Structure 1
Amino acid sequence: MRFVLLLVIALAIAFGLGGWSAEQALDAKAGGGSVTVGVWMADPDAGSPDADPYAKALLARTGNLTLGIGEGISFHAAHDAAGAPLSRSCAYRLSGSTPLARVWSLAAYDARGRLVSPGAGRPGWLVSSTLMRHEDNSFEVAVSPRARAGNWLSVSGEGRFTLVLTLYDTPASSTTGLGRLQLPDIVRETCIEEGRGRG
Structure 2
Amino acid sequence: MRFLLASLLAITIALGLGGWSAKLAIDGGTNFDSVALGPWRASPLIGTREADPYAKARLAKLAQLTLGGGEGIMFQAEADGEGRRLLLECTYRLTGRTPAARFFTLSAHSDDGRVDLPQSGRPGWLTSNALLRREDNSFEITVGPQARAGNWLATDRTGPYRLTFALYDTPASAITGAAGLEMPAIEREGCSDDG
Q: How far has the Cα of 1:179 moved from its partner?
A: 2.6
Q: 1:131 — aligned with what?
A: 131
- For residues 192 and 136 of structure 1, the distance between their equivalents in structure 2, rounded to whole angstroms, comes to 33
Structure 2: which 5+ residue stretches go unaligned? none
1:11-160 → structure 2 map (5 Å cutoff): 15-29=15-29, 34-160=34-160
Give the Cα–Cα distance (whole angstroms) in 2 for the partners of residues 123 and 32 of structure 1.
Answer: 33
Task: State the identity as a percent.
Answer: 52
- The CA deviation at 1:148 is 1.2
- CA displacement, residues 30-86 of structure 1 (integer Å, 9 cap, x when unaligned): 688521111101000000001101110011011010011111000010000110000
Look up the equivalent residue of 2:116 and give its one-letter code. V
Summarize deviations over 1:112-151 as a string: whole Å, max 9, x none.
1111122220100000000011111110111001111111
> Alignment length, in residue pairs?
195
Q: Residue 187 of structure 1 corresponds to which residue in structure 2?
A: 187
**Residue type of the partner of 2:93?**
R
> RMSD value over aligned CA atoms?
2.4
Aligned 8 A contact 2:80 2:188 in 1: yes
- What TM-score results when the alignment is normalised by the length of structure 2? 0.89
Q: Say whether residues 1:173 and 2:173 are aligned partners.
A: yes
Q: CA deviation at 1:158?
A: 1.7
- Kept in 1, the 8 Å contact 2:31–2:55? The answer is no
4+ runs deviating over 6 angstroms: 1-12
Show the counterpart of 1:163. 163
Structure 1's 30 and 128: CA in aligned 2 closer, same or farther, altered over 3 A?
farther
- Contact map agreement 2:118 2:155 (CA 8 A) in 1: yes
